[in-house]
Structure 1
C-alpha cells in the first residue's frame, strides 16, 4: 500500500512527465518510463550513508583492556625423601660421584706432577683418609640443599648450568678411570 501511494505521488509530481511514445510490451506494461525534468527545476539528493559514517567516526572507540599474562608455571615439587633423593635416577648419586671425580682427577694429576707418584702409590701412601674425608664432606654438602627441597636446576645460571656440571663430572669420571688404567698398563706415572 505504501509502495502504491509512493508511486502515485511520483507520477503525479509536476517534475515527472511520461512521454506519449512509451512502448507497451506483450504484458501491457510500459517498458520505457523516463521522467523529464524541466530546465528550471532542481532536484536535491541527500546521501544518508555519509552522515551515518560521520557519526560512527565521531563516537570514541573503546580501547580493549589488555588481558593479564598467565602466571608462570610452578616448578614441580621436589621430593625430599631419603629414598627419592638417593634413588638410582635421583638427583644426588650422579652429581655426588661427578663432583668427587672432578676433585679426584685434578688432585691426582697435581700430586703426580709435583711428587711423581702414580694414582695407586698415592692411595697406598695415605690417600685413603683424604679420599674418605673428602667424600663425606662433599656428600653432606651436596645432600643438604636437596633435603631442603632446592633443585639443582633452580640454582644454575649462565655458564655454570646443571647440565654443564653433569657433563664435567662424567668426563672427570672417565678421565680418572682412564688415568688409573693407563698408569696400570704402563707400570708407572703418566708423565
Structure 2
C-alpha cells in the first residue's frame, strides 16, 4: 500500500453520509457538464424539445439526467457485492465505460430508428433503401466516433463529480498499540 500513496485517486472510498443529499448534489453536478452548459448559454437552442432533429446538447443533457442515476445505481450494486469500484479512479473509469458503451448503443438505436423511419415514410422500396443506406453511413458510421467521444467525455465528468461529491475517503484503521482495540 505504501507504493500507491503517491498516486491520486487510489484511496479506498465510502459513501458520504447522509447519502441522499450528497448523491443528489453529485447527480446535478454530473449532468451540468461544462461544455454543454457554456455552449447552451452562449448559443441557445432555436427550439426546445428532445426529438430526432433537435439540438444534440439538449438530448445529451436528457440522457445525462437519466444515465447518471443509472450509473450510480450500478456502482452501488457492485459495491454491495464487494466487487468494485472502491477508489475514485475506479468510479471514474466505470462511468467512462458506461458512457462510451451507452453512447454507441444510443447511436446504433438512433440509426435503426432512422432506417425504420425511411422505410415507413417513403413508399418506394428502392428510394427507401437508398435513404436507409444514407442513414447507416451518416449515423451508423460517420457520427459513431463523435458520439463515443462525447459520451466518454461527458461520462468522465459525471464520474469525477460523483466520486468527489457522493464518496469520501475511508477513514484510516486505528491500530491499537496496547492490544486493547484488536479484532476478536
TM-score, length-normalised on structure 2?
0.31
TM-score, length-normalised on structure 1?
0.30
- Going by fraction, where is helix more abundant, 1 or 2? 2
Larger radius of gyration: 1
Q: Highest relative contact order (Cα 8 Å, sep 6+), 1 or 2?
A: 2
